[in-house]
Structure 1
Amino acid sequence: MRVPARLVPLIAVTAASALLTGCFSGGDGDSASGQGKRIRLAMMQPPRSGLSPLSDDAFKLSRWSTAETLVKLDADGDAEPALATEWKQSGPSWSFTLRDGVTFHDGTKLTAEAVVNSLTRAAAASPKPRILDGVDLTAKADGDKVTVTTATEDPLVPQRLSSPQLSILAAKAYRGKTVNPVGAGTGPFELTKANGTSSAALDRYDGYWGKKAKAPGIDVRFVPDGTARAAALRSGEADIVEAVPVSQAAVLDQDLITEVPMPRTNTLYLNTEKGAFKDAAVRAAAREAVDAESIVKGVYEGRADVAEGLLGPALPWAAELRKPVRRAKAGDPAGKTITLGTFTDRAELPEVAAALQQQLQKAGFKVKLDVREYANIESDALAGEFDAFILSRATVLDSGDPAAYLYSDFASDGSFNISQLADADVDKALGKAGRTPTGDARRKAVIAAEAAVLGTDAAVPMLHERVIQGDAAGVADAAHDPRERELVTADTYLK
């Protein structure tokens, strides 16, 4: 049983704080202007791919306001101008007009050729960025315009191009097989140093095309240990702390934390290709064994929402459209041995795994746990090495539209198909959702696809998370973004 947060021994907090002592002192570089205070940022997950924008590291570049895309999303998920000022569709092709006066951090100009280069590299990457799952995309330069064409007519092209994984970087970033974003973005902050998995530094870019950054720079430290991140906020060693663990929230000054409902679902993925969960009846038994409410109360201390489906309260229309799902009847799991995996980077997940182990064992399963850092477990999870895997998954992270997430995770050829699901009805529903124009019809098609997935019991949604962000008393205008795209913006500064 977990020790309540208020009873965490002082020695543990002191030891965690010691992990950060001196980390932010002096910074990694001074602002050219020498005015104002640099923002000290403690982030949860270290880079996994050298900050390549073609990986999930792209969202770090986005949250630091250093790499930008042709399009960005408003609060409702609709596309609005960024590096492109306008766009027009003609069948499977979209023409994007580029913004004038934009330069990369190395001084070179934003051109149609530079945009084509970035998009072409992303489209040819292996694996592809999730936002391009099932999409055959080509880009062509035409004066100050870029024409983006897909193999079939795609109503979501502008939203796809808002994904941080499709950031536009200078030509110098693309040398050999790697992509190096240092000094190659267009945002209000220039990435000047990337020190492996330990730290990064950014300076204000005075040649920025838009509003100049108020802060002179950002000093980033990657701190996977949640207690250490919380201790950094408590001790004043960090100004902004990403993803404060629920267990630490209660012992922090409540004025310093913000709770944001997230389009993020904590889901139990079941391997449908091999092992015990190849049998639909056994998957149904696992689904019935899960007591999500007790996990919300016990692990998340009520700071989460019990899931009714894969899409949560951050998308309020989902609950309004959802209907009961037909599922298989539960079989007898007695004697079935399964391996349940998850990762340590999100502090609550090991506790969720322990709670699920007890629930599944009570139902008759024999459960072995395998818990590691995400960087050391992702490849095994994607290769189907686990019978079951617990994942905290953002459902609209890439495009503002959940159809891309559903395709990535549950289509037969989805690049993030941890359940190894290959179901013709699911593929058909996902295809329809992807083809339907934006609006009410698309939302209904998305919910139909969600129902098709839930009917297989390949995924058991348990809860929808709320992110807890820590901002020191002197922080002004830090972003609190449900989509995890923004954090330090041009408007963010220290008083």
Structure 2
Amino acid sequence: MNTSAPVPTRRQAIAVLGIGAGAVLVAGCGGGPPEATDGRVRLAMFNTPRASMSPFSDDAFMLTKWSCAETLVNLDAEGKLVEALASSWERTNATTWRFTVREGVTFHDGSALTAEQAAACIDFAASHPEAPRILDDVELSVTAEGSEVVVTTAEPDPLLPQRLSSPSMVILAEGAYPDASDGVIDPIGYGTGPFRLTEVNGTATATLERYEDYWGEAATASGIDVSFVPDGTARGSALRTGEADVVEAVPFSQVANLDESLLHEIVTPRTLTLYLNTAEGVFTDKGLRAAVRDAIEPTELTATVYEGYADVAPGLFGPALTWAEELRSWGTTSFTGAKGAGAAGRVPGAAKASKVPEGTTITIGTYSDRPELEEVLVVVTEQLEKAGFTVKNDVREYEQIESDALAGAFDAFLLSRGTVLDSGDPVAYMESDFSSDGSFSLCFLKDTKVDAALDKAAALEAGQERRKAIIAAEEAILATGAAVPLVNERLLQGEAAGLTGAERDPYTRALITASTAVGQ
């Protein structure tokens, strides 16, 4: 593939083609934001429901973004635990945690929150054949004792409260649950938040009303009108024309067409990483993995594809995990590139790059659901070809390519990956992606040093010592060359003039809250 021509920025492309945000009307997407109504928030969302709003799927994040369902505990902006439906919690021994259920809480169907119902919700999740991923490899039992929920794990689990903060662990009324233990949960009308979910119209719209008997701060807005708008141009247009009050994930390509005062950057714990297949093919050679690491210059990606709305990646974790740069020996220096920390020998154990043999051909896969990834792939391909590789590309929708990626069909796979997953802690992501028995391994790494480092981190309680162990594990992973982190991504959230109180959550769990209000 010959891509020697310079890659224009998104803004340059828009200017040349004469494309504006109004080129695609929201109404043409099938379910654009409705007309403004008194006191209601109009929300244009990036994703559509994929599993009928089941909390055991990624749809769970919609429930918490709409403030219509809650967990026992929550995370603040720094990833620290805070109260929610539990007013307190404690670890009573190595395997037992006790959570005191908040008094005076009612579900949206009018029934009362009890320790028995909270325990039943957790038990249903833990025993379900499609249990939430946050409970992978966790064996637990749960009982109610008075106003307390008692959770006992088979093995010590210092992060159990963080697991229970996952949106997939929302506590719902009894009516949400099926009779069958393997049935599907229906959360509509059974949550506890300041807004009550009343209707989900397929993949088009959803409607929420203020819940007048909410246990906490009453919602300012009278309701939320949600539109699912996967088309990025349409979302940008909704913000520009005033058809939406809050817009998720405004594409970088729309910035030139929008009032920048309406755009708010969110630093996220999401890293764009090139995973190299260490099990077979070209990248069983550690020196050639290092050649990839040194050939890619991420500053070109941040400047062109992301137009400055991303940071070069110093490692697996970026600025959203503020503590990482303080503990990492090379700080915020880029890991990749000819002058990066890897090439400069600042990462203990990292290999030096080998000369790429003539005719070395690799296939890189990625997905089209995130349009910027195709642009990133163009730049990366050009840089790797300059280093001597012959590069073939395979780009499909994620649903069509994931199984091949997990089966090892590619030499490399480009993926935008959330590094804290559901718990606010990166160990689960690291184990999933880089341990010898990882459930989401795209690099098929089997390294005893990495496994030992991850085991050590996983056993520690939340705090500074765990963070130090996490950075040691990151160093061990990067030393293998199996993962080449490129950029740490940011999001652009659109908020109409006069709108206040929308959450700008780096963990993408919260969005519309009791404090959110539209301008008058």
Query: CA offsets per residue over residues 223-274 of structure 1, 9 Å max, x none?
Result: 2222221111111111111111122223210110011222221111122233
Q: Tell me how far apart the structure 2 counterparts of residues 149 and 336 of structure 1 sit (CA, whole Å).
A: 53
Indicate the residue corresponding to 2:169 in structure 1.
166
The answer on 1:14 being equivalent to 2:38 is: no
Is the 1:198–1:221 contact (alpha carbons within 8 Å) kept by the matching residues of 2?
Answer: yes
User: Residues 386, 44 of structure 1: CA spacing in aligned structure 2 closer, same or farther, 3 A cutoff?
Assistant: farther
Query: CA offsets per residue over residues 93-135 of structure 1, 9 Å max, x none?
Result: 0011101122222222222232223222332345543433343
Q: Tell me how far apart the structure 2 counterparts of residues 402 and 253 of structure 1 sit (CA, whole Å).
A: 35
User: Residues 143, 385 of structure 1: CA spacing in aligned structure 2 closer, same or farther, 3 A cutoff?
Assistant: farther
User: Residues 447, 79 of structure 1: CA spacing in aligned structure 2 closer, same or farther, 3 A cutoff?
Assistant: same
Q: For 1:415, what is the secondary structure of its paired residue?
A: coil
Q: Tell me how far apart the structure 1 counterparts of residues 311 and 412 of structure 2 sit (CA, whole Å).
A: 22
One-letter code aligned to 1:378: E
Q: Tell me how far apart the structure 2 counterparts of residues 384 and 202 of structure 1 sit (CA, whole Å).
A: 43
Indicate the residue corresponding to 2:339 in structure 1.
none
Indicate the residue corresponding to 1:328 in structure 2.
351
The answer on 1:454 being equivalent to 2:478 is: yes
Q: Tell me how far apart the structure 2 counterparts of residues 62 and 443 of structure 1 sit (CA, whole Å).
A: 27
Indicate the residue corresponding to 2:367 in structure 1.
343
Indicate the residue corresponding to 2:218 in structure 1.
212
Q: Tell me how far apart the structure 1 counterparts of residues 288 and 57 of structure 2 sit (CA, whole Å).
A: 34
Aligned length: 488
Indicate the residue corresponding to 1:319 in structure 2.
325
Is the 1:292–1:463 contact (alpha carbons within 8 Å) kept by the matching residues of 2?
Answer: yes
Indicate the residue corresponding to 1:154 in structure 2.
157
Q: Tell me how far apart the structure 2 counterparts of residues 172 and 421 of structure 1 sit (CA, whole Å).
A: 44
Indicate the residue corresponding to 1:250 in structure 2.
256
Output aligned runs, 1:483-494, within 5 Å.
Answer: 483-494=507-518
Indicate the residue corresponding to 2:4 in structure 1.
none
Query: CA offsets per residue over residues 354-380 of structure 1, 9 Å max, x none?
Result: 211222222233333232333443344
Q: Tell me how far apart the structure 1 counterparts of residues 73 and 453 of structure 2 sit (CA, whole Å).
A: 27
User: Residues 125, 12 of structure 1: CA spacing in aligned structure 2 closer, same or farther, 3 A cutoff?
Assistant: farther
Output aligned runs, 1:114-193, within 5 Å.
Answer: 114-125=117-128, 128-175=131-178, 176=180, 177-193=183-199
After superposing the two structures, state which structure 1 stretch, 164-173 or 370-379, moved more: 370-379
Query: CA offsets per residue over residues 17-58 of structure 1, 9 Å max, x none?
Result: 25358722369xxxxxxx833211111122232222112221
Indicate the residue corresponding to 2:40 in structure 1.
38
Q: 1:213 Cα shift?
A: 1.2
Q: Tell me how far apart the structure 1 counterparts of residues 437 and 511 of structure 2 sit (CA, whole Å).
A: 33
User: Residues 395, 424 of structure 1: CA spacing in aligned structure 2 closer, same or farther, 3 A cutoff?
Assistant: same
The answer on 1:24 being equivalent to 2:48 is: no
Is the 2:361–2:390 contact (alpha carbons within 8 Å) kept by the matching residues of 1?
Answer: yes
Q: For 2:487, what is the secondary structure of its paired residue?
A: strand
TM-score by length of structure 2 reads 0.88
Q: 1:310 Cα shift?
A: 0.6
Q: Which runs of 5+ in 1 are unaligned?
A: 28-34
Q: 1:82 Cα shift?
A: 0.5
Q: 1:430 Cα shift?
A: 0.9
Alignment root-mean-square deviation, CA = 2.2
User: Residues 107, 337 of structure 1: CA spacing in aligned structure 2 closer, same or farther, 3 A cutoff?
Assistant: farther
Q: For 1:493, what is the secondary structure of its paired residue?
A: coil
Is the 1:54–1:125 contact (alpha carbons within 8 Å) kept by the matching residues of 2?
Answer: no
User: Residues 258, 333 of structure 1: CA spacing in aligned structure 2 closer, same or farther, 3 A cutoff?
Assistant: farther
The answer on 1:293 being equivalent to 2:295 is: no
Q: Tell me how far apart the structure 2 counterparts of residues 382 and 21 of structure 1 sit (CA, whole Å).
A: 33
After superposing the two structures, state which structure 1 stretch, 328-337 or 63-72, moved more: 328-337
Indicate the residue corresponding to 1:413 in structure 2.
437
Q: 1:202 Cα shift?
A: 1.6
Q: Tell me how far apart the structure 1 counterparts of residues 439 and 108 of structure 2 sit (CA, whole Å).
A: 32
One-letter code aligned to 2:75: L
Q: Tell me how far apart the structure 1 counterparts of residues 217 and 299 of structure 2 sit (CA, whole Å).
A: 45
Q: Tell me how far apart the structure 1 counterparts of residues 252 and 396 of structure 2 sit (CA, whole Å).
A: 20
Indicate the residue corresponding to 2:50 in structure 1.
48
Q: Tell me how far apart the structure 2 counterparts of residues 186 and 437 of structure 1 sit (CA, whole Å).
A: 30
Q: 1:13 Cα shift?
A: 3.2
Is the 1:242–1:469 contact (alpha carbons within 8 Å) kept by the matching residues of 2?
Answer: yes
Output aligned runs, 1:203-242, within 5 Å.
Answer: 203-242=209-248
Is the 1:333–1:363 contact (alpha carbons within 8 Å) kept by the matching residues of 2?
Answer: no
- Match of residue 84, structure 2, among 82, 88, 95: 82
User: Residues 333, 406 of structure 1: CA spacing in aligned structure 2 closer, same or farther, 3 A cutoff?
Assistant: farther
Is the 2:421–2:428 contact (alpha carbons within 8 Å) kept by the matching residues of 1?
Answer: no
- Match of residue 463, structure 1, among 477, 487, 504: 487
After superposing the two structures, state which structure 1 stretch, 150-159 or 322-331, moved more: 322-331
Q: Tell me how far apart the structure 1 counterparts of residues 120 and 408 of structure 2 sit (CA, whole Å).
A: 34
Q: For 2:24, what is the secondary structure of its paired residue?
A: helix
Is the 1:257–1:468 contact (alpha carbons within 8 Å) kept by the matching residues of 2?
Answer: yes
Is the 1:44–1:345 contact (alpha carbons within 8 Å) kept by the matching residues of 2?
Answer: no
Indicate the residue corresponding to 1:482 in structure 2.
506
TM-score by length of structure 1 reads 0.92
Q: Tell me how far apart the structure 2 counterparts of residues 319 and 3 of structure 1 sit (CA, whole Å).
A: 29
One-letter code aligned to 1:449: A
Query: CA offsets per residue over residues 62-109 of structure 1, 9 Å max, x none?
Result: 111112110012233221210111112122100111011222222222
Is the 1:397–1:484 contact (alpha carbons within 8 Å) kept by the matching residues of 2?
Answer: no
Query: CA offsets per residue over residues 142-170 of structure 1, 9 Å max, x none?
Result: 22211112222222222221111211122
Q: For 1:286, what is the secondary structure of its paired residue?
A: helix
Q: 1:419 Cα shift?
A: 2.3
Is the 1:419–1:458 contact (alpha carbons within 8 Å) kept by the matching residues of 2?
Answer: yes
One-letter code aligned to 1:14: G
Q: Tell me how far apart the structure 2 counterparts of residues 376 and 193 of structure 1 sit (CA, whole Å).
A: 30
Query: CA offsets per residue over residues 196-222 of structure 1, 9 Å max, x none?
Result: 323222221222211121112112222
User: Residues 372, 450 of structure 1: CA spacing in aligned structure 2 closer, same or farther, 3 A cutoff?
Assistant: same
Q: For 1:229, what is the secondary structure of its paired residue?
A: helix
Output aligned runs, 1:363-378, within 5 Å.
Answer: 363-378=387-402
Q: For 1:7, what is the secondary structure of its paired residue?
A: helix
Is the 1:49–1:55 contact (alpha carbons within 8 Å) kept by the matching residues of 2?
Answer: yes
Is the 1:102–1:186 contact (alpha carbons within 8 Å) kept by the matching residues of 2?
Answer: yes
Q: Tell me how far apart the structure 2 counterparts of residues 38 and 158 of structure 1 sit (CA, whole Å).
A: 34
User: Residues 21, 182 of structure 1: CA spacing in aligned structure 2 closer, same or farther, 3 A cutoff?
Assistant: closer
Indicate the residue corresponding to 1:399 in structure 2.
423
Q: 1:335 Cα shift?
A: 2.9
What is the aligned-residue identity percentage?
A: 55
Is the 1:45–1:345 contact (alpha carbons within 8 Å) kept by the matching residues of 2?
Answer: no
- Match of residue 99, structure 1, among 80, 99, 102: 102
Q: Tell me how far apart the structure 1 counterparts of residues 251 and 453 of structure 2 sit (CA, whole Å).
A: 36
One-letter code aligned to 2:231: D
Q: For 2:70, what is the secondary structure of its paired residue?
A: coil
Q: For 1:120, what is the secondary structure of its paired residue?
A: helix
User: Residues 198, 360 of structure 1: CA spacing in aligned structure 2 closer, same or farther, 3 A cutoff?
Assistant: farther
Indicate the residue corresponding to 1:64 in structure 2.
66
Is the 1:133–1:407 contact (alpha carbons within 8 Å) kept by the matching residues of 2?
Answer: no
Q: Tell me how far apart the structure 1 counterparts of residues 411 and 117 of structure 2 sit (CA, whole Å).
A: 44
